[in-house]
Amino acid sequence: MPAGTPPRPESQCPTCGARERHRLLWYYIENEIDLTDGWNDILYFAPTDDIADGLREYENDIVTTDLTMEEVDVRSDITRLPFTDQAFDAMICSHVLEHIPDDRAAMSELRRILAPGGDALIMVPKDKERERTYEDDSITSPEARREAFGQENHVRWYGTDFSERLSQSGFSVSTETYADSLDDETIDRYGLRVYDQYLERVKFEDIHHCRRPSD
């Protein structure tokens, strides 16, 4: 069914509510991650029920967190997380950082609480034709943010330098346009193409598979 602002055609599953990015992320996890090896303690930001439930089937320990969502395990600010250093083996952070004014502080916190050798799967809206991230602290009204950044509660448009930002925060980063490796039948079956009406083109989302190097 359509979803988004403005609505994207064939975006959201009418049964579970998953959108394109959720289906892509879960397909990647199921096919590229061994959830029985090393993913024991997982922190999941701004969780969706379908992915959280899928992770729980592997009997891993999952902590869900968000600043405003009510049905999470821990209410927290991503720039000041209430967890000890190296507390998690893995984390999932999808479409969160574009909302955070100090995203560098958030990235630093993600690295702090990730164990050495741990994995973080990070996704953000990104304009791949933009080399540098566009942000302007003077743009504060919902209307102006929608015009500048594509959504009223976004504070930037990430460019292709997003991976560089993650690297500067201490991660080793593999940026994968994962759907490019899939055949058209799989792409169509899972509805992985995103028609971005702000950018006026069809795109695939990137998955940034980050790892905290072993100390």
CA 200 to chain centre: 22
Contact 134, 157 (CB under 8 A): yes
Q: What CATH number has the domain bearing residue 103?
A: 3.40.50.150
**pLDDT class for 53, splitting at 50, 70, 90?**
very high
Residue among 82, 83, 72, 80 at smallest CA distance from 48: 72
Domain count, the chain: 1
Q: Residue 199 pLDDT more than 80?
A: no
CA 4 to chain centre: 16
Residue among 50, 193, 45 at smallest CA distance from 122: 45
15 lies in some domain: no
Range of the domain at 196: 20-211
75 lies in some domain: yes
174 lies in some domain: yes
What DSSP string runs through 165-199? HHHHTT-EEEEE-GGGGS-HHHHHHHT--EEETTT
DSSP 74: E
66 lies in some domain: yes
The distance in angstroms from the start CA to the end CA of the chain is: 46
What confidence score (pLDDT) does residue 134 get? 97
Percent of the chain residues past pLDDT 90, beyond the cut: 85
119 lies in some domain: yes
User: Model-level pTM greater than 0.75?
Assistant: yes
9 lies in some domain: no
The distance between the two most distant Cα atoms of the chain, rounded to a whole number of Å, is 46
52 lies in some domain: yes
Provide the token pair at 40.
Answer: 């024991």
* Tens digit of each residue's pLDDT (9 = 90 or more) over 68-125: 999 999 999 999 999 999 999 999 999 999 999 999 999 999 999 999 999 999 999 9
Counting every residue written for the chain, the total comes to: 215
Any idea which residue has 């690297």 for tokens? 167
Residue among 174, 164, 31, 156 at smallest CA distance from 97: 156
68 lies in some domain: yes
